Amino acid sequence: AQRVTQPEKLLSVFKGAPVELKCNYSYSGSPELFWYVQYSRQRLQLLLRHISRESIKGFTADLNKGETSFHLKKPFAQEEDSAMYYCALSGRSNQAGTALIFGKGTTLSVSS
Amino acid sequence: GAGVSQSPRYKVAKRGQDVALRCDPISGHVSLFWYQQALGQGPEFLTYFQNEAQLDKSGLPSDRFFAERPEGSVSTLKIQRTQQEDSAVYLCASSLEGQPQHFGDGTRLSIL
C-alpha cells in the first residue's frame, strides 16, 4: 500500500538548534516526494520538491530510496519556522493527474 | 494573480442537509484536485479533474459526494444528506500539468 509516515506529532526545539523532521514512505515504483508547510492562519504551501534538490529557507531534504525516507533538515532553527509540516508522496496517477498522499503532519515549535 | 480561491470559508449545516463547496482554481491550471482533511490528519485525496473531465473519483467516500467542473474552470463539491462524519476541512488544489499543486484556504465544514 502507498503510505507516508511521519512518526512525530510534535517536535519542540530551541532557536539555533538543528531540526530533523522524519518522513518514511511506502511506494512500489519511483515516487516523487514533497514537503508542504502550513504557517499559522495560512494555506498549505510547497516547501520542497525532491527532484528540485534545492534549499528553501535553509531547509533541505534528501530522498533515500534504500531507507525509503525523505527527512527534512535545517541546521539552525528559527522561531519563524514554527509551523505544521506535511510530507507528501505523488503516487496515484491517472493520465496527467498525480494525487498527493500526505502524512499526518508534524508540528514544529521553535522557542527562544 | 490570485491563488486558488475557495468559498465559503466556513459552513455549518444540520445533519441531512445538502451542501455545495466552491473552488476557483488559478487561471490556466488544467488539473484540479479535492482533498478532505479531518482534524489531526493530513489531507486525503477525493477526486481529480483534468479540465472538465473527472478522471479519478476513487477517493470519494460515498455516493453522497459529487464533484463537477463543467467548463474546466470553477469546480463544485456537493455533499448530499450530510452526516456528522463529513465534518472536515475540504481543500482544493490546482496545478499545471506535471507541476506542484497550489492549495486554497479550504472550507471548514461543520455538521451539527
Strands (E), chain B: 5-7, 10-13, 19-24, 31-37, 44-50, 53-56, 65-68, 75-79, 88-95, 102-103, 107-111
Which of A60, A106, A108 lies closest to A80 in space, CA to CA? A108
Backbone angles phi, psi at B7, to 5 degrees: -145, 150
Q: Does domain B5-111 have CATH number 3.40.50.1970?
A: no
The answer on pLDDT for A62 being more than 90 is: no
Rounded Cα distance between A46 and A57, Å, is 12
For domain A3-111, the CATH architecture is Sandwich (2.60)
For residue A96, what pLDDT is reported?
Answer: 46
Q: Find chain B residues with C-beta within 8 A of A32's C-beta.
A: none
| Omega cis (within 30) before B8 | yes
Listed as ranges, residues in chain B with pLDDT below 70 are 1
Q: What is the pLDDT of residues A43-60, one digit of tens each?
A: 999 999 988 878 889 999
CB contact B41 to A (< 8 Å): yes
Write down how long chain A is. Answer: 112
Q: What is the pLDDT of residues A91-105, one digit of tens each?
A: 655 444 588 999 999
Q: What is the pLDDT of residues A79-93, one digit of tens each?
A: 999 999 999 998 655
Q: Locate the domains of chain B by residue range.
A: 5-111
Largest CA-CA distance found in chain A, in angstroms, rounded: 48
For residue B1, what pLDDT is reported?
Answer: 55
DSSP classification of residue A59: B
Min Cα–Cα distance to chain A from B15, Å: 27
Rounded Cα distance between B37 and B60, Å, is 13
Q: Count Cα neighbours of B73 within 13 Å in the Cβ-side half-sphere.
A: 6
Is A15 within 8 Å of A77 (Cβ atoms)?
yes
Q: Of A45, A46, A99, which has the smallest distance from its Cβ to B45's Cβ?
A: A99
SS3 content of chain B, % helix, strand, coil (to 5): 5, 50, 50
Average pLDDT, chain A: 91
Backbone angles phi, psi at A48, to 5 degrees: -140, 150
Backbone angles phi, psi at A5, to 5 degrees: -120, 125
B13 alpha-carbon distance from chain centroid: 17
Whether residues A102 and B30 touch (CB distance < 8 A) is answered with: no
What cell was used for B93?
Answer: 488544489
pLDDT bracket for residue A29 (50, 70, 90): confident
